[in-house]
Amino acid sequence: MKSTEFNTYKSRYRSAIQQVLAEAEKGRLDEAAFPAYSHRNPIINWLFWQRLRKVMEYIQSPTSYTNILDFGCGSGVMLPYLSSISAQVTAMDVDLLPIQSVQKYIPLAKNVDVKDATKTVITDLPANSFDLIIALDVLEHVHDLPRTLNELLTLLKPGGQLIVSGPTENILYKIGRKVAGPEYSGAYHERGIAEIKAELMKTSKLQPIATLYWPIPLFEIFSAKK
């Protein structure tokens, strides 16, 4: 994705998130990272969007995907891009208010199917059916990590990939979170990216995508293949 294309994408979605935040109950959308994607501090805002750009660049392909799952889709910030590179996209989250709020300003493409994860669980989805699963900054929230990872990997087609990003939870990350503001308490995090990576290494082959940024690693992004 060229810089001009990404900046246009970012500007459109950032504007929608700002409008939603202006209407929403204070704090209600913090866990879906709305404050981060619209943060006034240019460094913090750049860092959060750069995570998405790294993933977009990694998954762009000369041929389209058939089926992509966005697990823990949050505000749906990746969905316009995913729907442009895949015939079908499934989005799942336990809280659909964020994505429903953004839809007022950025309607979903017709090839996007949103599922309420409190009613449709991972095992309800067909096994061996997804070329790609995106799990960005979500696995640090789940309670049963081994089971969740096993169920997600079962959904992948042969040769499919699980793309994961998450916070390092190191001391520098925690300091940065406090500097960013009270919206970034991290109280809902169960773990950091190191634990997620260690669990995935038991069953999968990992490939690093990006560390943001050395020598102050705040986030890691990698892919996993069965």
Confidence band (pLDDT; 50, 70, 90) for 185?
A: very low
- Tokens of residue 149, six digits: 């990872």
The Cα–Cα gap between 83 and 90 comes to 9
Domain 3-225 CATH superfamily:
Vaccinia Virus protein VP39 (3.40.50.150)
**Taking Cα atoms as reference points, which of 154, 157, 163 lies closest to residue 135?**
163
Question: Is residue 51 within 8 Å of residue 212, measured between CB atoms?
Answer: yes
Buried/exposed code over 67-98 (b: 16+ C-beta within 10 A; e: otherwise) = bbbbbbbbbbbbbbbbbebbebbbbbbebbeb
- Mean pLDDT for all residues in the chain: 89
Q: What is the mean pLDDT of residues 108-137?
A: 97
The Cα–Cα gap between 47 and 195 comes to 22
**Taking Cα atoms as reference points, which of 52, 57, 118 lies closest to residue 79?**
52
Q: Is the pTM of this model over 0.75?
A: yes
Confidence band (pLDDT; 50, 70, 90) for 24?
A: confident
The Cα–Cα gap between 26 and 140 comes to 23
Q: Looking at this protein, which amino acid is placed at residue 55?
A: V
- What pLDDT does 32 receive? 75
Domain boundaries, the chain: 3-225
User: Would you say residue 155 has pLDDT above 90?
Assistant: yes
Cα distances (Å, whole numbers) of residue 18 to 51, 82, 189: 19, 22, 24
Question: Over the stretch 140-149, which tens digit does the pLDDT of each residue have?
Answer: 989 999 999 9
Residue 27's CB is within 10 A of a number of other CB atoms, namely: 10
Residue 134's CB is within 10 A of a number of other CB atoms, namely: 25
More confident residue, 220 or 63: 220
Q: Which of 143-157, 160-174, 189-203 has the lowest mean pLDDT?
A: 160-174
